[in-house]
A and B are shown apart, each in its own frame.
Chain A
Amino acid sequence: MQKKARKIPRSVLIGWIFLFPSILMYVVFMIYPLLRTFYLSLTDWSGFGQARHIGLNNFLSIFTDTMFRKALQNTLYFAVVSGILSVIVGIAMAWLNLYIRKMEGQVTRTMLFVPNMIAPTITGLLFMFIFTEDIGLMNNFLRAVGLDGLTTAWLANSETVRPSIVVAQIWRQFGLTMILCFAGFQGIPSELIESAQMDGAGTLKVLTRIMLPLIKPQIELATMFTLLGGLKIYDSVVSLTGGGPARQTVVLPMYIIENAFTYSKFGYASAMCVAFIFVVLVFIILLRIIFRGENYEY
């Protein structure tokens, strides 16, 4: 033992000391609570007193909880629909940005990226100004161009409330894909594109056959970020609709927090957290499968 202890060089020891604060905080405020959540998911803890083990009962209740299903559906809908659309808009904008002058591009990319760093709560509030029935920009715009028939209470109509949230999400998210893919496009050696053009490939063909396959890693990363970020959607829904109308837009974190901090069903809420983690894991695996295959080296 002693021999071993003496073997650790001084610099490594100091290294551990440097690393210690990060490890300590990480264990206390991330690993420990996460393990507790897994433990609590097997109990009926109500916030006070002793937690009683009830096995997998919480998980069985989840399967019959129609509100949970609704919340999960909404979460998946927002993540997938707005995720895919954001990535498509982002790629398109990155590509179009190649065709304008460098300075112009820099200015427009900055502008288009601004929504990405505005807090989601604020996004929700901004879009309230757009979609609210009487004073919203949307209805005023439609009336101004004579399309009165299309006006509706966007956020109170159960047909339009979810697409409205999707629009707000795209507004917020597409900039990330744009920045990532633009960097990817710039990294493509110009000889590749030139030789394709000389072979007579048109602009669109160059894009779909050469440029997009070459930036697959960037597209994958953007999709990962956007979809996994989309699964966590909460803030913007709270500030835009609060889950309404008639609980039509309740998302998973909303339902979990309500169960925990309003109804004190901490055990059940923890079980839903575990289920949520499982859903995210499935998503990661699915994305890995979708993006499987080799990346092209250049």
Chain B
Amino acid sequence: MNIEHKKEKKGIFINWRLRLLSRILTVFLCMIVVYPLLFTILVSFKNNQEFYSNIWGVPQIWRWENYSYAWVGGKIGQYALNSVIVTFTAVIGSVLITAFGGYALSKMRIPKANLILSLFMVFNFVPGVAYYIPLYSQMIKLHINGTLLMLILPYLTWQIPFSIYIFKNFFDSIPSELIEAARIDGASELKAFFQVMLPLVRPALATVTVFNFISIWGEYMWASISATSSAKIQTIPVGLLYFRGEYGIEWGPFAAAITIIIVPLIIVFIYFQKYFVQGITSGAVKG
């Protein structure tokens, strides 16, 4: 869309009554959306007594000790470490192999590339729970039950369909002449891939990374099933529910634990939101 278009568009959608209505509704909805988050953050600084006496207001004393209590006493620190290791390894792993895969499907003249892509996409609709029963015994057979690999390997795999789809689409939009030129220069395939192709699809890298990060970071179902094999591999979502079970009445530290988890996510999201929106709408274009 060019600039002229946008100027014209402004003209169509000027309507002061609708603008007023829109502002009121949007602000109202934003309040609904933001309030639970803000409320949780405020609670995280209160103790139980203040929680009951002063539920709405700003805490009278800012109790930072709730955070250290959640981090150490509530073992959020340990859960966070697990989550960080699992998420980073799985995201890097899946981004790497699907970047190769998408590139191969787009530029290496593999026969029936589109059919292969559809085969990757077709099982995406299957509910996750349909994999978990055999997967659990498979993990025991592979002798990785009770280790973080039990989470990393499936997480990495479940991101493949979406990621490979995004990478192939982006590589498709890059002229093949570029890679041919790199070949003529004598660059090896790997070198051409890392030095020429990958830098060209930086937006795809960001989109895939952000999407994978968010869905892996919050995964609960498989993580909770896996945690039955060893308490040592509990990730944040699993640990948090466990934390509630154990310290349910201590609202302050509990809210502190939630805050520790969502605030970094929100910051990451706001920083990378361009790529997030891109990922969603690029799915929309091809449908």
Contact = CB atoms under 8 A, between A and B. Distances in A.
Contact of B218 (A122, A231, A280): A122
Chain A's interface: helix, strand, loop or mixed, by majority? helix
Contact of A114 (B33, B132, B153): B33
Contacts of A157: none
Interface string B47-88: 000011001100000000000000000000000000000000
B3 interface: no
Chain B's interface: helix, strand, loop or mixed, by majority? helix
Interface stretch (A24-32, A146-154, A158-166): A24-32
Contacts, number: 271
Contacts of A189: 5
Interface in A277-298: 277, 280-281, 284
Given A26-B120, A179-B281, A93 B29 contact: yes
A110 B157 contact: no
Nearest to B193: A18
Contacts of A194: 8, 12
Contacts of A115: 33
A135 interface: yes
A203 B21 CA distance: 13
A12 interface: yes
Contact of B100 (A21, A92, A99): A21
B30 A253 contact: no
A195 to B, nearest CB: 11
Contacts of B51: 135
Interface string A157-185: 00000000000000100001001100110
Interface residues of B, number: 100
Contact of B18 (A9, A19, A176, A203): A203
A40 B277 contact: no
Q: Number of contact residues on A: which range applies?
A: 35 or more
A98 B13 contact: yes
B115 interface: no
B126 to A, nearest CB: 6
A62 interface: no
Contacts of A274: 130
A127 B269 contact: no
Contact of A193 (B12, B32, B138, B219): B12
B12 A122 contact: no
A73 interface: no
A80 interface: no
B231 interface: no
B276 A117 contact: yes
A18 B100 contact: yes
A136 to B, nearest CB: 9
27 contacts: A12-B110, A16-B108, A26-B157, A33-B132, A33-B135, A34-B126, A36-B133, A36-B138, A37-B131, A92-B25, A93-B26, A108-B27, A114-B33, A118-B218, A118-B266, A121-B240, A125-B244, A137-B39, A140-B55, A179-B277, A187-B1, A217-B287, A235-B220, A238-B220, A253-B129, A260-B132, A273-B130
Given A104-B23, A119-B219, A179-B281, 9 more contacts: A18-B193, A99-B15, A108-B30, A117-B269, A119-B237, A129-B43, A186-B1, A252-B129, A277-B130
Interface of A: 9, 11-12, 14-16, 18-19, 21-23, 25-26, 28-34, 36-37, 40, 47, 92-93, 96-100, 104, 108, 110-115, 117-122, 125-127, 129-130, 135, 137, 140, 171, 176, 179-180, 183-184, 186-187, 189-190, 193-194, 197, 203, 217-218, 220-221, 228, 231-232, 234-235, 238-239, 252-253, 256-257, 260-261, 266, 269-270, 273-274, 276-277, 280-281, 284
Name the 10 nearest CB pairs between A and B, nearest first.
A119-B218, A15-B108, A36-B134, A22-B101, A18-B104, A96-B22, A29-B157, A273-B130, A15-B104, A21-B97
